[in-house]
Amino acid sequence: MAKIEIPFNSGNRMAIMVLVVLPFAFFAWLEHGVAALLFFAIPLTPAMLIFGWSLWSVPVKTEIDPATRLVMCCYRSIFGKSRIKSYSLDQFRYVRSYITIGRFPVNVVELVTNSGGEALCLTRVEPSASSQSFFSIPRPGEAEKAKKLRCDIASSCGVVDKGYLGYRMPGCQLK
């Protein structure tokens, strides 16, 4: 059986925010000097620290190897240092997909432990939008990429496919 490689889509909203604010800070420094730069640097520093921490705690990719029964998550820091954390595939029982509740819904695919209390997030993708008729409002549904990934993992790794669960809040995650 072949390895399943899953790139992790975390979204870069904070990075976009920082990159949008940086040119304003630079031009303010050119025109008004150090005082304007401090005006932008004080709120920008915590944002950059939070962004750096979020990069450290989010995996870059996940590999599932059915032959060795291992799930390996590759993490990368903002300084370029990478670390790999591996889990036994035997500690997972289910694979499931759901959409998070909130302003920006995300379709999450995760492996759930045998006890059912914790889960390992494999990827986050943008949900598909579908409507029942032309006059109805499109509602987010399970993305094709998430469905294919969920079915591939269930068929090749021997875990139970819990399917698409609809809307729900994320539960406790493995660290």
Among 39, 80, 88, 96, residue whose Cα is nearest residue 64: 88
Same domain as 66, residue 24:
no
Q: DSSP state, 132?
A: S
Same domain as 169, residue 105:
yes
pLDDT digit string, tens, across residues 127-169 = 888 756 667 677 788 999 999 999 999 999 999 999 999 999 8
Same domain as 64, residue 26:
no
Same domain as 27, residue 70:
no
Same domain as 87, residue 38:
no
Domain extent at residue 147: 4-9+59-173
Q: Is the pLDDT of residue 109 over 70?
A: yes
Q: Is the pLDDT of residue 97 over 70?
A: yes
The radius of gyration of the chain from alpha carbons, rounded to an integer in Å, stands at 20
Return the pLDDT at 18.
59
Report d(CA 80, CA 104) in Å as an integer.
29
Report d(CA 170, CA 84) in Å as an integer.
23
Same domain as 92, residue 166:
yes
- Give the total number of structural domains in the chain: 2
Least confident of 83-92, 97-106, 107-116, 130-139: 130-139
CATH code of the domain in which 104 resides: 2.30.29
Same domain as 38, residue 76:
no
Q: Is the pLDDT of residue 14 over 60?
A: no
Higher model confidence: residue 172 or residue 52?
A: 172
Same domain as 90, residue 165:
yes
Same domain as 77, residue 19:
no
pLDDT digit string, tens, across residues 43-95 = 766 766 666 555 555 678 889 999 999 999 887 766 667 788 999 999 999 99
Same domain as 65, residue 51:
no
pTM across the whole model: 0.71
Same domain as 86, residue 138:
yes
Q: Max CA-CA distance within the chain?
A: 63
Instruction: Tell me how crowded residue 80 is: count the other CB atoms within 10 A of its CB.
Output: 6
Same domain as 110, residue 169:
yes
Return the pLDDT at 116.
84
